A = this chain, B = another copy of it.
Amino acid sequence: MAGATKPLGSPAKSAAQTRIIDAAVDLFSEHGIGGTSLQMIADALGVTKAAVYHQYNTKDEIILAVAEIVLARLEAAVVAAEAERSSVRGREVLIAGMIDVAVERRRIAGVLQRDPVMLRFLDNHEPFRRVMTRLNRVLMGGVSTPRARVQVAMITGIIGGAVIHPLVFDLDDESLRSHLLKQVKTLLRAR
């Protein structure tokens, strides 16, 4: 297949690694990546820093592992969208996929889209840049007017911003997903 790329890896994690990533996500979303030290992660797990370093040799590896959770699913959504015959239908599929993962992994999605450290990190990570390029291309649907650009920026902002807003904190996944999807479609229909 021409232009095919290896899917972003979500390598199998040991139980110890899973615990570290879970704790890291909690702390990242509350204090920011820059405000989270490896000592804090170790304390949350009741172990020492050295035990954490045994699983991940650098802080960047932890950040990468957190990012991959969401980005692997995001890439799958992009692939599915690109496989659609109609570009309109492709965009619908992608947006549904984006909303799915953002709602289900709200905390990680918030960190991924909002944390300045994560944004810088992803900007220097070529596989991720490629996914975002393809994602934006599908969302733009071949149009590049200011209006379309603002609309795509809005959609991204909605999905990243709405899911972590305090007002929807106590909404269950199913409600949040259906409301979001419906209102984003309203936005697109007005194109």
A contacts, CB < 8 Å to B:
28-35, 113-117, 120, 136, 146-147, 149-154, 156-163, 165, 167-168, 171, 175-176, 179-180, 183, 186-187, 190
Contact = CB atoms under 8 A, between A and B. Distances in A.
Contacts of A163: 153
State the copy count for this chain.
Answer: 2
19 contacts: A30-B116, A32-B117, A114-B114, A115-B115, A115-B116, A147-B179, A149-B168, A149-B171, A150-B168, A150-B183, A153-B161, A153-B163, A153-B168, A154-B158, A157-B158, A157-B165, A160-B161, A161-B161, A186-B186
A152 B167 contact: yes
Of A120, A154, A180, the most chain B CB neighbours within 10 A belong to A154
A183 B158 CA distance: 12
Contacts of A161: 113, 153-154, 156-158, 160-161
A163 B146 CA distance: 13
A126 to B, nearest CB: 16
Nearest to A30: B116
Instruction: Pick the 6 closest A-B CB pairs, nearest first.
Output: A157-B161, A34-B34, A32-B116, A153-B165, A34-B35, A150-B179
B183 A186 contact: no
A154 B157 CA distance: 8
A179 B157 CA distance: 15
A24 to B, nearest CB: 13
A180 B187 CA distance: 11
Given A158-B158, A161-B158, A161-B161, A34 B117 contact: yes
A68 to B, nearest CB: 20
A157 B157 CA distance: 5
A149 to B, nearest CB: 4
